[in-house]
Structure 1
Amino acid sequence: MVAIDEPRDQRRAEIPGPSPDGPAAAPVTPAAPGSADPAGSCGARLVAARVAAGMSIEEVSARTRIRATLIRQMEEDDFAAVGGAVYARGHIRGIARALGVAPEPIVAAFDAAQPGGPTPSFTTPANSFDPLRHGATSGSSRRWGAAMVVAAVVFCAVLLFTLLRPGPSHSQQPGAASSSRSPVAAAPARAEPAPTTPAPTQVSLRLQAVSAPSWLQVSDDSNKVLYQQILTKGASQTLTAKAMRIRIGNAGAMSLNCNGRDLGSLGGPGQVVTVQVGLGDAGACTVEGNPASANPAR
């Protein structure tokens, strides 16, 4: 019986994925790491290298930070979702390093399958930084960039502060300056003028029944009655107007105070007194009226 050779694509599709007990045996014998089949496509080389390394697609994804669905599409030679040839080459190199194989032959197979023929690829130095190999993401790159910008701003601010800060004056030595100074007598403090109290413009009259009750009637300068009743002993009443006319029924029992000035009593016990209280020169209180009034100067 003559054996019919199956197509290569059908053999690759029959390669089983890893089982829970370990990688399953593949019908096609993969090439050893670092020496993938030179006749295979890019996807076939990735599959052969992964199976030879005994890793699943999920394990490769965890090592390279490349999505498992994207790795599966690349193994099927579908690079439409990768984002362009540049990104595809970077992903291929990252996967090859994770699998322990040389990336250049697989990249060359990818370039050979591109429209227009192979594109010259540049070998990445072994010690160069590969974001796919180190698991960097665009977010971490942005964070590193922001951190470096902040550090540069802080450095510039410190440098500017150092340059603009005035240094110590060297015009004279501190010791010589202190020894050459002669004591200066303190200037006598100038006496501040006492604040002048403005002259009052109204009469503020306080009436108090000191020794006995007394009848009172107080009118202002327009003859309006401000107060009219008996003031009991010990009680007091304060009234304010431009001028006042006061009639007291028991002058000896009453004590008057005008704008803080004590006028005392304006007559004797039981004596009826009528007086006019107003403002004189400089706002001083004046008392005019009944001759029985007490001396206004009291």
Structure 2
Amino acid sequence: MSIGNSPESPEDDRNFPADDRDSIGRALQQARVAAGLTVEEVSASTRVRVPIVHAIEEDDFSRCGGDVYARGHVRTLARAVGLDPAPLVEQYDAEHGGRPSPTPAAPLFEAERIRPEPRRPNWTAAMVAAIVAVVGFVGFTMFNGTDGQAGPGAVAEGPAPVKTTAPAKPKPVKPAPRPSESAIAAVPQDKVTVKLTAVDDKSWISAKAHDGKLLFDGLLLAGESKTFQDDERIDLILGNAGPIELFVNGKKIEDSFESGQVERLSYTKGDPQAG
């Protein structure tokens, strides 16, 4: 009777299952085709340029301008083709090193305070000051003694009277008129004026007039500003809306945008907060 391994004993399968998920670009492409959309139609609805859509569907994110813009494009395209953007963004972070960790601020060092050395008394200066005081006192005494020998007819003269004039009454100052909160100054009332400033980071922006004319399409670096004007309406796309400071018709827009967030905005004439 031989002793050996039973042919029916199961093998020890320790192989981990392979990640059979589609790539981000393939998933977006298949969803687009299943939705019956062309690349041009997706580009028109998302305002993402056609070459960038093609590149992302080929898993080439080098044309996006950085991880922040790449995540924003993936999120925007996923919504356009009917996919949940969260898993795709997580997959992008897993494949490209995740979100960058914030850089720690440099430590601050308090400058060491140097105590001044105690000053020693200057005896030479004190002696000179004392001599000057004595000489001045003697001279003053002799001068007064000479003036005291005046004749009997001398009359002591008092100080001359000083003419006093009543101070002029100050003219009342009219208070300056307070500007109305809804007033819009320094911008034409018959046009819509939009000013964008990248405060502390760069952002890709696109601006179009009411007739579809492209006013600007490019990157706004930190510290740069752009102003656009049209007779009826201005349409905006902010690729990285977080660092953008926005003024519409002379009034600051207080909306809080997040970094990496893509915003599509339209503004017309008048007060932008009036709806």
TM score, norm. by length of structure 2: 0.32
Higher relative contact order (CA 8 A, sep 6+): 2
Larger radius of gyration: 1
